[in-house]
Amino acid sequence: MPSWLAWTLVGIAVVAFVVVVIIAWRVFTLLRTPGSFKARLVSKHDTYQPGKPVVVSYNEYSVEIFSVYSIWPRPRVSMPRHCLDVTRIPRRTRIRSWLRLDDTETGEHVTLAAAHEHVSELTTWYESGPAIGIGHWREAPRRRQRRRYF
C-alpha cells in the first residue's frame, strides 16, 4: 500500500472522529442548558410517526429547535415567544405526547413528539407568560437576546 494512500485514510479517519466529537459535545452542551430537552419532529404524513431527533430549547424570548446530527451552531427553527401559539395534540402514547408550535406571524408550524414531562414543561412555560393585553406581551422585545450556546 502506498504511503500517500495510508496517510489519506488516516486523515479521513481523523476528520470523521473530530466531526463525531464535535456533534457529541454540541448535543451534550445543548442538553445541559436549562430549558432544553430531546424531542422528535413528527412527520407530515397522517401516520404521526416520530421522525428526526432534535433538541428543543426555550428561553425568555423564544423556542429554538436544533438538529441533533449537525455541527451547525444556529437553530434549525426559531419561534419568538411573542408570536407563538402552543397546542397539545390529543394523540398520546405511553412514552410520548404530541405538541404543535404555531408561529402566528409567518404561519409556520412544527409538530413535536416528546416525553410527557417535557411537553408539560413547555406548555407551562408558554402559559406562564403575562396575560394578553397587559403590557407589551404580543409585541417584539426591545432588547436583543444574548447568544448562550457558542
What cell was used for 97?
405526547
pLDDT of residue 10: 94
pLDDT of residue 109: 87
**C-alpha closest to that of 103 among 65, 66, 133, 67:** 65
> What pLDDT, in 10s, does the model give residues 16-39?
999 999 999 988 988 898 889 999
**C-alpha closest to that of 149 among 71, 82, 83:** 71
CB atoms within 10 A of CB 30: 22
**Residue-range domains of the chain with CATH:** 3-127 (2.30.29.30)
